[in-house]
Amino acid sequence: MGMAIEDMKDSLRRRGIRLTRQRQILLDLIDKSGQHLDAESLYQMAKERDPKLNRVTVYRTLKMLKEGGLVDELDLMHYGGDQHYYETRLKQEHAHIICLRCGKVEEFFGEPLQKLRRQVEAHFGFQILLARTEIGGYCSHCQVLRAKEVKDLTAVSAGARRG
Amino acid sequence: MGMAIEDMKDSLRRRGIRLTRQRQILLDLIDKSGQHLDAESLYQMAKERDPKLNRVTVYRTLKMLKEGGLVDELDLMHYGGDQHYYETRLKQEHAHIICLRCGKVEEFFGEPLQKLRRQVEAHFGFQILLARTEIGGYCSHCQVLRAKEVKDLTAVSAGARRG
DNA sequence: GTTAGTGCAAACCTTTTGCAGCTCT
DNA sequence: AGAGCTGCAAAAGGTTTGCACTAAC
């Protein structure tokens, strides 16, 4: 972070893409926010810096960054709807672990991911451009709470059955 | 396959879910089509067997099967739009390898996936319910064709620059 | 001065919802 | 009989497009 934004700007300049005021704002927000922004949140944040900035510009910018390989697009198992989430491509490849109860997202780096990548390349002669691993379930905290919820639900429906 | 549809029906019956004519059609199509159907194709196929069957019923059925853990939902890197794809959950966990040029989808089974799963469970104390790995790029066939396309593009734009 | 980029409005695509009527068990 | 399911129509949510105007280089 911090450095990343300059790398992104360079990459855009090299490709002759104009660094408009709007794009500077959006790049800056993506860079320092750190993680997992969706278009709408990014738009809300951007509007505070420039109230005239349009939602459409956010979509167009994200699309451009994605196509330029500067950000990765995630779904996070569609927790919270069908929108997409974005993160800069600074880090090493990682999996996203999302709790389907509280929504917390963890990142997992580790050799199985690299090994998978190498095996796929070797096995299929495939040229990998994008890779995404998303894992959904319950985090250690929510497993307990979830068990309790299920118990309560059972009690309620048993009650209903009794009349 | 072949067996799978009975397993699915049993699972539904056990949960007191009705096996309507429409659901039988949809289950049957999902079962024998084998792979990677999106709601619209499934709807088109189902309409041939029952012209009155509604698109909404397809969505409702897919949602139910997904929530019951009988099918998995995929995005296939949004190749071909933002719709979702579905596959039955018979097979062992696998990654989907999708060619961004020709759209061909390969499946990769292999120990890195199981290892990843075990490590995530151990590392975060996470209870995994769903896991999805999607890899996008160019298949061995398309790598060649893609190189040619890029060359042609370059020639065209050089021509344009020359006037 | 050009050409790329922006804002606005309107369209688009996929999926969901409300409700009246039908059907499975 | 009655809850569960379907079809229809309409809405919702997220994203893209056409076009006239503006700004970056």
Q: Tokens in use for A8? A: 């992104």
Indicate the number of domains in chain A: 2
A160 confidence band (pLDDT: 50, 70, 90):
very low
Same domain, B29 and B63: yes
**In sequence order, which residues have a C-beta less than 8 Å from that of residue A69 and are 6 or more positions away?**
A89, A129
Same domain, B59 and B133: no
Q: Residue A70 carries which DSSP code?
A: S
Same domain, B125 and B156: yes
Same domain, B104 and B134: yes
Same domain, B18 and B66: yes
Q: Of A56, A91, A126, at which residue does a domain stop?
A: A91
From chain B, pick out residues whose CB is under 8 angstroms from the CB of A130. Answer: 77, 100, 135-137
- A157: CATH: 3.30.1490.190
- B73: CATH: 1.10.10.10
Higher pLDDT, B111 or B6: B111
Q: Which of residues 49-68 of A touch strand C (CB under 7 A)?
A: 50, 52-54, 56-57, 60-61
A3 confidence band (pLDDT: 50, 70, 90):
low
Of B49, B62, B57, the C-alpha closest to B20 is B57
Sheet with B95-99, strands from edge to edge, namely A105-108, A95-99, A127-138, B127-138, B95-99, B105-108
- Considering only the beta carbons, identify the residue of B127, B130, B133 that sits closest to A143: B127
Residue-wise pLDDT for B76-112, tens only, equals 999 989 999 999 998 899 999 999 999 999 999 999 9
What's the CA angle centered on A142, arms A137 and A143, to 5 degrees? 70
Q: Of A76, A91, A106, at which residue does a domain stop?
A: A91
Nearest nucleotide from residue B19 CA, by C1' atom: C24
Percentage of residues in chain B with pLDDT exceeding 70? 91
Q: How far apart are CA B2 and CA B11, in angstroms?
A: 15
Same domain, A1 and A80: yes
Same domain, A85 and A98: no
Residue A105's SS3 state is strand
Same domain, A57 and A17: yes
Bases of chain C below 7 A from a protein C-beta are 4-10, 13-18, 23-25
Same domain, B55 and B126: no
Residue-wise pLDDT for A88-110, tens only, equals 998 899 999 999 999 999 999 99
Same domain, A82 and A97: no
Identify the pLDDT of residue B146. Answer: 86
Identify the pLDDT of residue A90. Answer: 85
How distant is C1' of C3 from CA of B156, in Å? 19
Same domain, A5 and A68: yes
Q: Which residue is nearest to nucleotide D17 (CA to C1')?
A: A56
Neighbours of B89 (CB within 10 A): 17
B46 confidence band (pLDDT: 50, 70, 90):
very high
Give yes or no for residue B14 having a pLDDT over 80. yes
Average pLDDT, integer, range B147-158:
68
Identify the pLDDT of residue A161. Answer: 45
Q: Of B45, B62, B91, at which residue does a domain stop?
A: B91
Same domain, A86 and A144: no
Identify the pLDDT of residue B61. Answer: 97
**Strand D closer than 7 A to residue A44 Cβ:** no
Q: Return the residue matching tokens 């096995």.
A: A123
Q: How far apart are CA A31 and CA A9, in angstroms?
A: 11
Q: What is the DSSP string of B84-135?
A: -EEEES-SPP-EEEEETTT--EEEE--HHHHHHHHHHHHHH--EEEEEEEEE
Residue-wise pLDDT for B49-70, tens only, equals 999 999 999 999 999 999 999 9
pTM exceeds 0.75 for this model: yes
Please give the residue range of the domain that contains residue A48: 1-91
